[in-house]
Each structure stands twice: as structure tokens, then as C-alpha cells.
Amino acid sequence: MTDESPYHAVLRDLLAKREKLDTAIKLIEDLIGAGDLPGDSPVVPKEGQIRSDSFFGMTIADAAKRYLSVSKAPKTITEIADALRAGGYLFATRNPAATVKLTLYRLDRNGIDFVKLPSGQYGLREWYPNVARNKRKVADDAETENGDEEGQQET
């Protein structure tokens, strides 16, 4: 026969919970010491969490670049547009995703900051240093126009 009362079981349970709480407290103390608490970052506190003013007053390109830099992974147009809206970017359009798509497409086409991946997602050009820039060549456009003129018959 054991002389254990119900209080012994309760005490064991509380001690186990205290150990978990002590571990959690230590983790939070370490975060405070490292300056990694969510409130410490002026832009994006943690991956997946965006403050309501993270992208306020920025251009679409700058906000998207900052979002992708912090998330450290390619994202779809919808993900980028949703993140910008959640971060305080004020879209002046009914279709923010279309606006973001056009902006990133133009920048990618001109070899600036963004690259569209085969998956349809966009990433930062700096992540893919071996991808050729898609700069449009004005000289190629001029040659096409001259070639068309040369092919016309005189009247």
C-alpha cells in the first residue's frame, strides 16, 4: 500500500508544467537579449507576420522587394499583393494583384530587381545571379522598323 495522497499527483503535474514554463521564460529572455522580439522590428516582425504599417508610403516595387527580402522565398502575385495590403500599402485600384503583376512583370522584363520563375512565382534577381537580364533592346526594335520599310514597294 502506498501512502501517496492525491496531492502528490497534483504536485508532480505542477512541477512538470513549471519546467515547461521555465523553458519558455528562458527562450523569451534570450529573444529579448538578442533583440528578436516581434515588436523590435520596424518592418516585418517574423516570417509570415506583417505589421499594419510595414509598407505604408512605399512604392509597389520597394514594398515587394522588402517583403521578398524578409520572407526569403519566392511568392506568387497573390501572396505579394495580400502581404502589401496587410502591411499598409494603399492600392488605388480594385484589383491589387493585377497592379502588382504588371509592376513586377515590367521590372523583370527590364532586368530590374525581380525575376519570374517557371512556377509563376516571383523572386529577387539577386537570388539568381546566373539568370540573364531581359533588357529590351531599342536597337532591335529600330532594326525591325527599318526592315519593314525596306520591304515596302515604291508607288
Range 39-42 contact pairs with CB under 8 angstroms and sequence separation of 24 or more: none
What is the model's pLDDT at position 140?
43
Q: Using CA atoms in the order 61, 64, 68, 70, what is the torsion angle rounded to 10 degrees?
A: 110
Classify residue 63 as exposed, middle or buried by CB count within 10 Å of its CB (0-12, 13-18, 19+). Answer: buried
What is the model's pLDDT at position 26?
75
Q: What's the pTM value of the predicted model, to 2 decimals?
A: 0.57
Specify the higher pLDDT residue, 117 or 135.
Answer: 117
pLDDT in tens, 13-47: 888 888 877 777 777 766 665 444 444 444 444 55
Structural domain boundaries of the chain? 6-36, 48-149
Class of domain 48-149: mainly alpha
